[in-house]
Structure 1
Amino acid sequence: MPSDPGLRAVVFDFGGVLITSISNQIGDVAASHAVDPAVMHEVLLGPRVSWPDHPWHRAERGELAVADIQAELTPWGEAAGIRLRGDEMERLLAPGAYSVVGAMLDRVDTLRADGYRTALLTNTFAEFRPTMERDLDFDRFDAVVESFAVGSRKPEAEIYVAAAEMLEVGHASIVYLDDFDQNLSPAAALGWTTILVGDPRVALDELDAILGTSDSAPK
């Protein structure tokens, strides 16, 4: 059973936590245009905050098909002074561009065996679901919260509320791991304990420290 009875669930992001980040692909696309990767990231994936009309964000909310993202990116590229070539999404989403972080998946299994509820919380597309199920096995999780399915994406508050409801726990009972700090702030505001993931091993050590301290209050 959980060491701290107040902490009952652990929630994992997908990209950059359970799998390696797609930052390398963004860097490659940026290099081919001779622009800064941060600029290309904003053009292709949108601003750090949620944006109503960015095509990537719309697709993650289930409002736009993945196949239609590329055509909708032209004005975003022009605004940044970049002439897109039309293959940026294909390169970004190319098969085999990431690998599963085995240590993270192993910890999901261990946590469930120890009595914690677990969840996958991810910004993703309906078209990508079969690939995720193949790589992760959704049976590992008590809840799978996908942005396209709930019509809300991180860092919008609604998706975190949906996750807590699906886990059937209070916000203060949740520990959450994500590799983007902007996705952690709304969770922390709700009472979740948060871990910013850089090195997976360091993040797992931090998780162990949090769950192993019975007198610690959720942050």
Structure 2
Amino acid sequence: MTARAPVAAVVFDIGNVLIEWQPERFYDAQIGEARRREVFAAVDLHAMNDRVDRGEGFRDVIYGTAAAHPDYRPEIEMWHDRWIEMAAPAIPRSVRVLRALRARGVPVHALTNFGIDSFALAQRHYDFLSEFDQAFVSGHLGIIKPEPEIFARVEAGLGLPGEALLFADDRPDNIDAAAARGWRTHLFEGPDGWANRLVDEGLLTPDEAA
């Protein structure tokens, strides 16, 4: 049986892999769970965010949605005005292993559903988001995970087949879409498991992954 070729590059999702992304938790803390449930039941804020992730204007989409739902306008506008508070905090061990991989000379990339302006905002706030060899950002590409085309764009952009890539993401649908193209995948359920996977793949030593 032919041995599997080594991993040529590691691809990180960002939300809930490098930075916590829990809008419901943020809103619960700001307006209370009951009001949050009311707002989220009345307005599909995640679908609104998908429009931003596809490349529509960050402020335009959110403020437009708020104007269309005046009963919830202040809460919806918070998605824009206080966005960086929702995209928080960083996940320290994930950041450490990203930097450890780079120190080892392993190519490290991002594949993320993120808006154009919101990604630029996040880069200003989190320095490690500017440390990827390449960042494939859905807003710039005009397509989002788990659409197969976005994975094909990564392969073409890197000049690598899927089996050469190791991809971590917290969403099973994204993992399934990547695996369908032959990518090696890791369903991110916490930084410890991800660090262990990188050790198992021979990309880091246990000390480097600590």
Q: Same fold (TM over 0.5)?
A: yes
Normalized per residue, the structure richer in helix is: 2
1:60 aligns with 2:62: no
Q: Tell me the alpha carbon deviations over residues 51-93 of structure 1, each in whole angstroms, 9 at most, x when there is no partner.
A: xxxx322221113443323533798x8xxxxx95113333345
1:129 aligns with 2:119: yes
Q: Tell me the alpha carbon deviations over residues 136-179 of structure 1, each in whole angstroms, 9 at most, x when there is no partner.
A: 34542111111111111111111111222222221101111111
Structure 1 residue aligned with 2:104: 114
Structure 1 outlier segments of 4+, above 6 Å: none
C-alpha distance in structure 2 between counterparts of 1:156 and 1:129, whole Å:
20
C-alpha distance in structure 2 between counterparts of 1:113 and 1:57, whole Å:
34
Closer, same or farther: CA 71–101 of 1 in aligned 2, 3 Å = same
Q: TM-score, normalised by structure 1?
A: 0.75
Structure 1 residue aligned with 2:162: 171
C-alpha distance in structure 2 between counterparts of 1:194 and 1:30, whole Å:
37
**1:41: how far off?**
11
User: What amino acid maps onto 2:55 in structure 1?
Assistant: G
Q: Secondary structure at the match of 2:201?
A: helix
Q: Do the aligned residues in 1 keep the contact of 2:55 with 2:138 (CA within 8 Å)?
A: yes
Structure 2's unaligned 5+ residue stretches are: 205-210
**1:26: how far off?**
5.0
Q: Do the aligned residues in 2 keep the contact of 1:25 with 1:92 (CA within 8 Å)?
A: no
Q: TM-score, normalised by structure 2?
A: 0.77
User: What amino acid maps onto 2:22 in structure 1?
Assistant: I
Closer, same or farther: CA 193–202 of 1 in aligned 2, 3 Å = same
1:207 aligns with 2:202: no
Structure 1 residue aligned with 2:183: 192
Alignment root-mean-square deviation, CA:
3.0
User: What amino acid maps onto 2:9 in structure 1?
Assistant: A
C-alpha distance in structure 1 between counterparts of 2:71 and 2:180, whole Å:
38
Q: Give matches, 1:14-33, under 5 Å.
A: 14-23=14-23, 24-25=25-26, 27-28=28-29, 31-33=33-35
Q: Do the aligned residues in 1 keep the contact of 2:66 with 2:72 (CA within 8 Å)?
A: no
C-alpha distance in structure 2 between counterparts of 1:84 and 1:198, whole Å:
36
Structure 1 residue aligned with 2:207: none
Q: Do the aligned residues in 2 keep the contact of 1:173 with 1:192 (CA within 8 Å)?
A: yes
- Give the fraction of aligned pairs with identical amino acids, expressed as a percent: 24
C-alpha distance in structure 2 between counterparts of 1:96 and 1:34, whole Å:
16
Q: Give matches, 1:8-87, under 5 Å.
A: 8-23=8-23, 24-25=25-26, 27-28=28-29, 31-33=33-35, 35=37, 40=41, 43-46=44-47, 55-72=48-65, 85-87=72-74
